Structure 1
Amino acid sequence: MGSGKASRHQVVTWGASADRLGPAAADRSYRLVVRTSVGGTHPRIRLSNAFGDRPVTFGSVYAGVRAEGARLVPGSNRRIAFGGARSVTVAPGDSVTSDPLPGRLAAQSDLVVSLYVSDAAGQATGHGMAMQTSYTAAGDHAGEEGDGSWSERIGSWFYLDAVSVESGADTGAVVALGDSITDGWQSTSDTNRRWPDYLSRRLQSGSGSGVKGVANEGISGNKVLADGAGQSALVRLQRDVLSQPGVRTVFLFEGINDIKAHTGVTADQLIAGYRQIIDRAHAAGTCVAGGTILPFKGWSEFDAAGEAVRQEVNDFIRSSGELDAVTDFDKALRSPYDPERLLPVFDGGDHLHPNDKGMRVMADAVDPAKLDSC
C-alpha cells in the first residue's frame, strides 16, 4: 500500500498567463490579490521572468490572507522561501517555483502574495488585464500586514503566474486557454465574475467531478495562430497550460480574434491550429474540452466573411468528435431573433464580450462531469 504522501499531489488553484508589462522597476514592492479555486495544503507560488531580458531578484516574498483592500488578516502573512533561501534571482526567460508553505489554503479565498523586487531592469513580466485591484509601493513592504504603505493601486499582476496546493490524487484542474472573454473583459472588476470564476464556484459545490482547480489563462486580444496580444495559443500552450501541476483538462475557447482581424485566416487554418493544440494536450495526457465561438454582429469588425468562418469552425467544434467534450457557448448566448448577435441581456455593451450575466450562463453551460471525459 502506498504512503499517504504518495496519494497526494500538487494542483493549480490560480493562474494568469504571462506577457510583457513594460519597464521593470527595482526597489519596488507589489501586493497582488488573487482568488483561489480548489483548497489544499502546502501552497506554492510560481514567479515568472518569461519575457525579461535581464535577471530579476526578489529580495523577499510573503503570502497572507486578505482582510480588506491591501490589509491582511493579522498573523497570516508568512515568508516564502525558494530552495530554503529568502531571496531568489530568476534568469531571463525562466521561472521559479517556491518551497511549500506549511498549512492550508482555503478554497475560494483571497490570497495576497507580496513581492519585493530588489533588483530588476529591462522588460517586466506579468499579466496586464487582471480585472482585480492590486497594489504597489516603493521600497520593501512585503512583510507588512497593514495597508499604510500601499496607497498606489494597479490593475495588473506582476511576475506571479501560478499558485498551487497539495490535494488528493483524485483531484485535478481545468485550465481555460482563451482571449479577452476568458480574461474577463466587461465583467465587473474586483468581483470574480469571469466565466472561469463562476465555473470554479460550481466545481467546489459538489459537482460530482474530480476537477476542482481552475486556472484562467486568457489574454485579451490573444489569437490561436499569430502572436500579438501575447504569444499565440500555440506558442504559449506549454508554459501557460500544460506546465501547470495537476491539470486534467484543457478548455480551449479561442479564435474570434483570428477571425475578426481580417488577415485572411480561413476555417481550415484555424481548425488546423485547434488540432495541434488537441494533439499536444492529448500527448501530455490531458483531456481537451472546447467551447464554440460566440456571435459578434454589431462589433466594428464584423462582416459576412468572418461570420462564415465562425460558423464553419463552430461546426467542427460541435461535430468533429476530435474534442473530448464540447460546450456550446454560441447556442447559450446567441439571440433567437438574430443568431449572429449576442442576446442583449448577455451583451456587455460592445456586442462581443458578455456581461456578468452572460459570464454566468457560460459557466452554467459547462457539464462538470465531462471535464473528466478522456
Structure 2
Amino acid sequence: MIFWTRGFAVLATVLAVVATVPAQAAPVHPVGTWGASADEVGGATGAAGLTDRSVRNLVHTSLGGSGVRITLSNVFGDRPVTFTSAHLGLAGDGAAVVRGTNRPMTFAGADQVTVAPGTEVLSDPVDATVPADTTLAVSFHVVGESGPITGHDVAVQTSYVSGTPGADVAGQESGAAFTTQISSWYWVESVVIEKPRRVRTAVLFGDSITDGSGSTVGANRRWPDVLADRIAGSRFAGRFGVMNEGISANRLLADGTGGQRGLDRFRRDALDQPGVSTVVLLEGINDIRWDLADEAADLIAAYRELIAQAHAEDVCVVGATLTPYEGGSRYTPERDRVRTAVNEWIRTSGEFDGTVDFDAATRDPDRPARFLPAYDSGDHLHPGDAGYAAMAEAFDLSLLECDR
C-alpha cells in the first residue's frame, strides 16, 4: 500500500511537471503588414530636413499579429540620423494616440539608434499584438539636424510633426504638440509582425496607381488596401500580409522625380521584403507617357528581367495590365498603341506566373482607351475610390497561392 501510494505520488509529481512545461511553439517568421517604398521626400521640408522635432507617422495594417517591429530608413540621407523615444500605438483622433497603447520601442536593447546614410534599421519586437485593418501611430524624436529626409512622398494619409524644436513629445498620447500636418511618411518604411510559416507577404509593386494617387486621403481606399480587405473576408483570411511598394511617378526604365527606376529598386522594395512569396507588378505607364518605351519590346525586356530576378528567389510574379488614360496628361494615340501591345503580351505570353487584367476592369466599353467615368479620379490617369475597388475586385485571390 505504501509502495503504491508513493508510486502515485511520484506519478502525480511527474504529471505536474510535464503540465508546466509549455508546448513547443510553432515556427514563426517575419511578415509585412504595411510598407512604403523609401525615396527622397520632396519639397522644402524634405530637402532641409528636421531639427530636434518629433514625428508621428500614421500607417495602416493589413494583417494583425504580435512581435511588432518597425523599419527606419536613411537610405537616401546624407548624414547619420539619430532617433530616440520611438513609440508604437493605436492612432486616435487627429495626432492623438489611443490612451494606454503607446508602447516604447528599442533597437538592440537601446532606446535610441543612429542610422547611417544609405542604411536602415529594424527595431526589436514590441510586446503587443496589433489588429488587422487598423491605423497605427509610429512616433519618434529626431535628434539634431537630420539633413534630407528619407521617406515616402505621396502617402495619401495625413501624419504629423511637432511644432516646438527640442521638445521630445513622441511618447505623449495627446496630439496637442503635433501641430504641423504632413502628407508624406518620414523615415518609417515598414511594419513587420511574426506569423507562422504558412503566412506570407504579397508585395504590390508599381507607380502612382499602386501608391493610391486619386483616392480619398486618410480613407485607405488604395487598391492594395481594398485587396487586403478582400483577403480578410475570404478563405485566405490571416494568410497574407500586403505591402504597398508603389511610388508616384516611378518608371521602370529610368530614374526621375519618382525615385530610382523600378529595375533598380525591385530587389530592395520587393524581393527583400520579409516573407514575400508573390509580387504583383503594375508598372510601365510612365515609361510610355515619357517616351522611354517607344515600343512594347522595351517594357517586355524589363518585365523579363524582373521575372527572372524573382524566380531566382522562388518568388512568383503576377503581371497586371496597364490601365487606360485617354484624356490624361501626355496621352497620344501613338503612345496608347504601345500600351495596348504591352497589355496583349502580358495577357498572352505565359511568362508571368499569373495575370490580372486591370485594363479590362476599369476601361469604358464604349471608349476603351479611357476609364469608365465612374472609375476616374478626374485626371483621366488615376482611378478614384470606385476604380481602385474595381481593380481589387478583379484580382483572383487564388493567384496568391502561387508556389515556386
Q: Same fold (TM over 0.5)?
A: yes
SS of aligned partner of 2:149? strand
**In 1, Cα distance between the equivalents of 2:81 and 2:184?**
18
Cα pair distance change 1:244/1:131, threshold 3 Å:
same
2:150 is matched by which residue type in structure 1?
T
Aligned match for 1:8, one of 10, 17, 28? 28
Equivalent residues in 2 for 1:165-314, closer than 5 Å: 165-208=193-236, 211-228=239-256, 229-263=258-292, 265-314=294-343
Distance 2:299 2:214 in 1: 26
1:20 paired with 2:40, answer: yes
| Offset from partner CA, 1:236-286 (integer Å, 9 cap, x none) | 111111111111111100100000112453211111111111111111121
The farther-off stretch of 215-224 and 198-207 is: 198-207
- 1:191 partner amino acid: A
Structural mapping, 1:334-345, within 5 Å: 334-345=363-374
Residues 1:94 and 2:119 aligned together: yes
CA contact (8 A) 1:11 1:173 kept: yes
Kept after mapping to 1: 8 A contact 2:293/2:299: no
Match of 2:60 in 1: 35
Equivalent in the alignment of 1:144: 172
Contact kept in structure 2, 1:44 and 1:164, CA below 8 Å = yes
Instruction: Look up the match of 1:364.
Output: 393
In angstroms, what is the RMSD of aligned CA positions?
A: 1.3
- Encode CA deviations 1:307-364: one digit per residue, 9 max, x unaligned: 1111111011101111111110000111111111111111111111111000000000
CA distance in 1, matches of 2:237, 2:313: 21
Contact 1:58 1:119 survives alignment (8 Å)? no
Whether contact under 8 Å (1:30, 1:116) holds in the other structure is: yes
Whole-angstrom distance in 1 between the partners of 2:390 and 2:67: 34
Distance in 1, Cα, partners of 2:144 & 2:294: 43
Q: Does the 8 Å contact 1:347/1:355 carry over to 2?
A: yes
Structure 2 unmatched runs, 5+: 1-22, 42-46
Deviation at 1:207, TM superposition (A): 3.5
Distance 2:49 2:95 in 1: 22
User: Structure 1 residue 117 and structure 2 residue 128: aligned?
Assistant: no
Native 8 Å contact 1:170 1:210 kept in 2: no
Tell me if 1:131 matches 2:156: yes
Residue type matched to 2:389 in 1?
Answer: R
Structure number with greater Rg is 2
The verdict on how the C-alpha distance between 1:103 and 1:30 changes in structure 2, with shifts beyond 3 A counting, is same
Could you tell me which amino acid in structure 1 is paired with residue 181 of structure 2? R
State the TM-score, normalizing by the size of structure 2: 0.90
Whole-Å Cα distance in 2 between the matches of residues 261 and 299 of structure 1? 13
Q: Quick one: which amino acid aligns to residue 145 of structure 2?
A: A
Distance verdict in 2 for CA 1:297–1:225, change over 3 Å: same
CA contact (8 A) 2:329 2:381 kept: no
Where does the alignment leave 5 or more consecutive residues of structure 1 unmatched? Answer: none
CA displacement, residues 56-79 of structure 1 (integer Å, 9 cap, x when unaligned): 100220001112111111110011
TM-score by length of 1: 0.97
1:300 partner amino acid: S
Identity %: 48
- Given that 1:209 and 1:371 are in contact with CA atoms closer than 8 Å, whether structure 2 keeps it comes out as no
Amino acid at match of 2:183: G
Q: Which moved more, 1:84-93 or 1:307-316?
A: 307-316
Moved more, 28-37 or 115-124: 115-124
Corresponding residue pairs, total: 372
Mapped contact 2:68–2:127 kept (Cα < 8 A) = yes
Contact 1:13 1:36 in 2 (8 A): yes
Distance 1:210 1:73, change over 3 A: closer
Is contact 2:232-2:238 (8 Å) kept?
Answer: no
User: Distance in 2 between the 1:61 and 1:286 partners?
Assistant: 33
Where 2:234 maps in the other structure, the secondary structure is: coil
| 1:26 to partner: Cα distance | 2.3
Deviations, residues 5-45 of structure 1 (Å, cap 9, x unaligned): 45211100000011112222220111010000011111000
Q: Offset at 1:370?
A: 1.1
Deviation at 1:209, TM superposition (A): 6.7
Cα separation, 1, equivalents of 2:349 and 2:149: 41
Shift, 1:119, TM fit? 3.0
Q: Deviations over 1:109-128 (max 9, x none)?
A: 11110010113343210001
> Displacement, 1:208?
3.1
Bigger shift: residues 50-59 or 21-30: 21-30
